[in-house]
Structure 1
Amino acid sequence: MRLTKYGHACVRLETGDRSLVIDPGIYSEPESLYGVAAVLVTHEHDDHLDAGKLAAARAANPDITVHAPADVASELGDWVTPVEAGDTVSAAGFTVRVVGGRHADIVDGLPGCPNVGFVVEGIYHPGDSLFLPDESIETLLVPVAGPWLHLGRAVEFTRTVKPGRAIAIHDATMNDRGFENVDWWLENHGGAPYTRLAPGASVDL
């Protein structure tokens, strides 16, 4: 399987003629959606969901399937299939298990919105949460920056999940000095082989 990292929290997974995208938000490149068969959305925030970009992609290709939490589905329309933790769905021929349920707190229980994670054939995208799935994870897409997160929690999350490898996501707000710091800690203390991909870069898993 090939994984391509796009801006911030957006990744594209491809095997043969199967392709799906997770969390195409306002910081991700429009080409992330070119020719895609399915889209998974973890939650409502615009750094994970650019509604206009997604609607335009589906207008160009009405066969795109979209799975998202119920609150997102109700906002976008009946062309989105609502999902919740505990569901298992097929998207572009990939088996997807839905986990989690709630966005990580920033302060005072906020933002308090639904957030699901997706386990796609051993690849785990948690969205804006540090939910621990109850299965073996080969590739963890580890969030590394955000108002709900600090570096120590990202390191501890990676250690606890114990993936075969970790790849950084949720990083659009960082500068080069921040990347150097995050990369050093996860490379040396995360407990798993770690990679940070530039937007548009790919890796074969």
Structure 2
Amino acid sequence: MKVKKFGHCCLLIEEKGIRILTDPGGYTDLDVVVRQARNIDVILITHEHADHIHVLSLKRLLENNNGVRIITNEGVGKLLDGEGIKYEVLGDGNVIDIDGVKFEAFNGNHEEIYNDFGQVQNTGFFINDRLFYPGDSFHDPEREVDILALPVAGPWCKIGDAVRYALKVKPKKVFPVHDGMLRIKGANHKVPSRFLGKNGIEFVVIGEGNSYDFG
């Protein structure tokens, strides 16, 4: 499994010949994403916040990638219905197999920002029984996770909570996401790197525009 980080939560995941794009939204250079994200098979959208979906860029991606399947939830679906964009809803606990790659959905709510502000439906995705991408949530999939995409910044995300979440899930490797709003890239990486490493969890930093092969 190979992961390229365009920025924030926009990832290009390659697994068994399938190319998967996640959350093409704000805090990411979407012009770069549109130019470089070609031959995409699946687009996963966790929720409807603007830093996870930018409709105009999504339309441009669809123009460049014929036959791509959008997998998401009902909340995002309402937004896409208004734009005439086709999608598939993957319900909580349901699994879909696309050319030998499994996708399992974990539905819940966005982590609290303040009371019910921003409390939209959020879907985490477990990809091929290896990588868990939770979106904006600290949901424990209660699965054996090899790789965790760990949110490390945001109005809902304290770094201590992020570390405790990773320790609860107990993946073999972690890489940080949801950090595009930081003025200094990597500012929130020191604490999880230190404490996760002490607990046998490898902390892998993937710089914007770079890739990492998890094997």
* TM-score relative to the length of structure 1: 0.92
Among 27, 39, 56, the residue aligned to 2:43: 39
Deviates more, 1:151-160 or 1:83-92: 83-92
Provide the secondary structure at the position in 1 that maps to 2:189: helix
* TM-score relative to the length of structure 2: 0.88
Establish whether residue 203 from structure 1 lines up as the match of residue 212 from structure 2.
yes
Q: Equivalences for 1:70-81 in 2 at 5 Å?
A: 70-77=74-81, 79-81=86-88
Aligned-residue identity in percent: 26
Gaps of 5+ in 2: none
- The alpha carbon displacement at 1:52 in A equals 1.1
- The alpha carbon displacement at 1:108 in A equals 1.3
| Equivalence for 2:186 | 179
| CA distance, structure 1, for counterparts of residue 179 and residue 5 of structure 2 | 11
Among 111, 116, 134, the residue aligned to 2:123: 116
| Equivalence for 1:57 | 61
Root mean square deviation of aligned Cα: 1.7
| CA distance, structure 2, for counterparts of residue 9 and residue 109 of structure 1 | 23
Give the aligned length. Answer: 203
Deviates more, 1:164-173 or 1:64-73: 64-73
- The alpha carbon displacement at 1:74 in A equals 2.6
Q: Equivalences for 1:1-205 in 2 at 5 Å?
A: 1-15=1-15, 17-28=17-28, 29=30, 30=33, 31=35, 33-77=37-81, 79-91=86-98, 93-121=100-128, 122-176=130-184, 179-180=186-187, 182-190=188-196, 191=199, 192-205=201-214
Provide the secondary structure at the position in 2 that maps to 1:172: coil
Gaps of 5+ in 1: none
Q: Which amino acid aligns with 2:203?
A: Y
CA contact (8 A) 2:7 2:27 kept: yes
